[in-house]
A and B are shown apart, each in its own frame.
Chain A
Amino acid sequence: MTAVHQFVPTLAPRDAVGRHYLAVQETLRGAGYRSEIYSYEAKEEYKRLARPFASFSGATGKEPTWLLYHSSVGSPVADFVAGRDEPLIVDYHNITPAAFFARWEPAIAGALMKGRRQLAELEVRADLGIADSAFNAQELTDLGYEHTSVVPILLDVAALDATPPDPATFARLSDPKASGGADWLFVGRLAPNKAQHDIVKAFAAYRRLYDADARLHLVGGSSSHQYETALTAFVDALDLGGAVEITGGVSAGGLTAHFETADVYVVASEHEGFCVPLLEAMHHRVPIVAYAATAVPETLGDAGLLLDAKDAYTIATAVHRVVTDTALRTQLIDAGIARLREFDLAKSRRKLLDAIEPVVGAPT
Chain B
Amino acid sequence: MTDEYVDIHKLAAEIEAEVRARRAAGEYPPGFERELDRLFDRFAPPEVSNDFDAALERAEDLVIVDPVIPVASNSPVLGVVKRVVSKLLGWYHVWLAQQISALSTAINTALRLLGGRVVELEHITGDVARARGVGARTPARRDDSAWNDIVVAALRGVSGRVAVLECGEGALLEALTGAGLDAYGVEPRAIVADVALARGLEVRIDDGAAHLHAVGAAALGGLVLRGLVERAPLGELLLLIDAASAKLAPGGRLVVCSLRREAWGDNETAAEADLVAGRPLHPDTWNAVLPEQGFVDVQVHAAGAGAYVVAALRADE
Residues on the B chain within 8 Å of A311, using CB = 19, 33, 204
Residue B39 is within 8 A (CB to CB) of chain A in the complex: yes
Mark out the residues of chain A between 90 and 108 whose CB falls within 8 Å of any chain B CB in the assembled complex. 102-104, 106
* A245 CB-CB contact with B under 8 Å: no
Q: Which stretch (A156-164, A312-320, A349-357) binds chain B?
A: A312-320
Distance between Cα atoms of A201 and B28 in the complex (Å): 14
Assuming the A-B contacts A307-B16, A325-B1, are A292 and B216 also in contact, with contact meaning beta carbons closer than 8 angstroms in the complex? yes
**Residue contact B39 to A238, C-beta cutoff 8 Å:** yes
Chain A residues with Cβ below 8 Å from B8 are 302, 304-306, 331-332
Q: Indicate if the CB atoms of A305 and B12 lie closer than 8 Å.
A: yes
Alpha-carbon distance A205/B35, docked complex (angstroms):
11
Contact between B18 and A308, CB atoms less than 8 A apart: no
The answer to whether B43 and A297 have CB atoms under 8 Å apart is no
Q: Identify the stretch in B45-53, B107-115, B227-235, B281-289 within 8 Å (CB) of chain A at 4 or more residues.
A: B45-53
Residues of B within 8 A of A (CB): 1-6, 8-9, 11-12, 15-16, 18-19, 22-23, 28-29, 32-33, 36-37, 39-40, 42-49, 161, 184, 202, 204, 214, 216-217, 246
Whether B48 and A106, one on each chain, are in contact in the complex, defined by CB atoms closer than 8 angstroms, is: yes
Closest 3 CB pairs of A and B: A230-B43, A233-B43, A201-B36
* Complex Cα gap A305–B22 (Å): 20
Q: How far is the CA of A233 from the CA of B2 in the complex (A)?
A: 39
Contact between A306 and B1 (Cβ–Cβ < 8 Å)?
no
**Across-interface contacts of A313 in B (CB, < 8 A):** 19, 22-23, 28, 33
Tell me if B12 and A327 are in contact (CB < 8 A): no
**Measured between alpha carbons, how far is A238 from B36 in the docked complex, in Å?**
9
Q: How far is the CA of A214 from the CA of B226 in the complex (A)?
A: 42
* A314–B49 CA distance with the chains assembled, in angstroms: 31
The reply to whether A317 and B18 form a contact with Cβ atoms under 8 Å apart is yes
Cβ contacts under 8 Å, B32 to chain A: 205, 208, 312
**B15 touching A321 by the CB < 8 A rule?**
yes
Give which listed residue, B3, B45, B47, B204, contacts A327 with CB less than 8 A.
B3
A102:B19 contact, CB within 8 angstroms: no
Q: Assuming A102-B49, A293-B216, is B43 touching A325 (CB within 8 A)?
A: no
Most buried by B among A238, A313, A328: A313
Q: In the complex, A302 Cα to B47 Cα: how many Å?
A: 37
- Not counting A208-B32, A305-B12, A317-B15, a sample of 19 additional A-B residue pairs whose C-beta atoms are within 8 angstroms of each other reads A103-B47, A106-B48, A135-B217, A138-B217, A197-B40, A205-B32, A205-B36, A209-B28, A234-B39, A238-B36, A307-B16, A308-B16, A309-B16, A321-B11, A325-B2, A327-B4, A331-B5, A331-B6, A331-B8
Which chain A residues border B1 with CB–CB below 8 Å? 324-327
A 267-321 contacts with B by CB, 8 A: 270, 292-294, 297, 302, 304-309, 311-314, 317-318, 321
A233 to B214, CA, bound (A): 27
Q: Is the CB of A230 within 8 A of B40?
A: yes
- Asked if A237 is an interface residue, CB under 8 A from chain B, the answer is yes
Cβ contacts under 8 Å, B217 to chain A: 135, 138
Cα–Cα distance between A205 and B19 once the two chains are bound (Å): 12
Whether B45 and A103, one on each chain, are in contact in the complex, defined by CB atoms closer than 8 angstroms, is: yes
Chain A residues with CB below 8 A from B11, complex form: 305, 321, 328
Q: Smallest CB–CB gap between A143 and chain B, Å?
A: 13
Known: A103-B47, A307-B12, A325-B2. A237 touches B204 (CB 8 A): no
Interface size on A, residues (CB 8 A): 48
Determine the chain A residues whose CB is within 8 A of the CB of B28 once the complex forms.
209, 313
Which chain A residues numbered 211 to 248 have a C-beta less than 8 Å away from chain B?
Answer: 226, 229-231, 233-234, 237-238
A204 within 8 A of B: yes
Number of A-B contacts (CB under 8 A): 107
Cβ–Cβ < 8 Å partners of B216 in chain A:
135, 292-294, 297
A3 to chain B, nearest CB (A): 35
* B12 and A318 contacting across the interface, CB-CB below 8 Å: yes
Among B15, B39, B45, contact of A307 (Cβ-Cβ < 8 Å): B15
Could you tell me the distance in whole angstroms from the C-beta of A182 to the nearest C-beta in chain B? 16
Instruction: Report the separation of the CA atoms of residues A307 and B37 in the bound assembly, to the nearest whole angstrom.
Output: 20
A105 vs chain B, min Cβ distance (A)? 10
Q: How far is the CA of A326 from the CA of B6 in the complex (A)?
A: 12
The answer to whether B36 touches A204, judged by C-beta atoms less than 8 angstroms apart, is yes
- Nearest CB on A from B129, distance (A): 17
Q: Which residue of A103, A293, A328 contacts B44 across the interface (Cβ within 8 Å)?
A: A103
B-binding residues in A (CB < 8 A)? 102-104, 106, 135, 138, 142, 197, 200-201, 204-205, 208-209, 226, 229-231, 233-234, 237-238, 270, 292-294, 297, 302, 304-309, 311-314, 317-318, 321, 324-328, 331-332
Contact of B12 among A226, A308, A326 (CB under 8 A): A308
- Specify the chain B residue showing the minimal Cβ separation from A311: B33
Q: Whole-angstrom distance from the CB of B127 to the nearest CB of chain A?
A: 22
Q: How far is the CA of A145 from the CA of B97 in the complex (A)?
A: 44
Q: What are 22 A-B pairs with beta-carbon distances under 8 A?
A: A102-B47, A138-B217, A201-B40, A238-B36, A292-B216, A307-B16, A308-B12, A308-B161, A311-B19, A311-B33, A312-B32, A313-B19, A313-B33, A317-B18, A317-B19, A321-B15, A327-B1, A327-B2, A328-B2, A328-B11, A331-B5, A332-B8
Determine the distance from Cα of A208 to Cα of B32 in the docked complex, in whole angstroms.
10
Which residue of A is nearest B182, CB measured?
A308
Chain A: which residue is nearest B18 at the CB level?
A: A317
Residues of B near A103 (CB, < 8 A) are 44-48
- Measured in the bound complex, the distance between the Cα atoms of B197 and A309 in whole Å is 14
Complex CA–CA separation, A304 to B6 (angstroms):
12
A residues near B23, Cβ cutoff 8 Å: 313
Give A205 to B184 CA distance when docked, in angstroms.
Answer: 23
Name the B residues within 8 Å of A229 (CB-CB). Answer: 43
A331 to B202, CA, bound (A): 28
Query: What residue in chain A is nearest B36 (Cβ atoms)?
Result: A201
Q: How far is the CB of A331 from chain B (nearest CB, A)?
A: 6
A102 touches which of B4, B40, B48 (Cβ 8 Å) = B48
Cβ-defined contact, B16 with A314, below 8 A: yes
Say whether B44 contacts A309, CB under 8 Å: no
Give every chain B residue within 8 A of A200 (Cβ-Cβ).
Answer: 40
Option from A204, A302, A314, A332 in Cβ contact (under 8 Å) with B15: A314
Q: Is the CB of A308 within 8 A of B5?
A: no
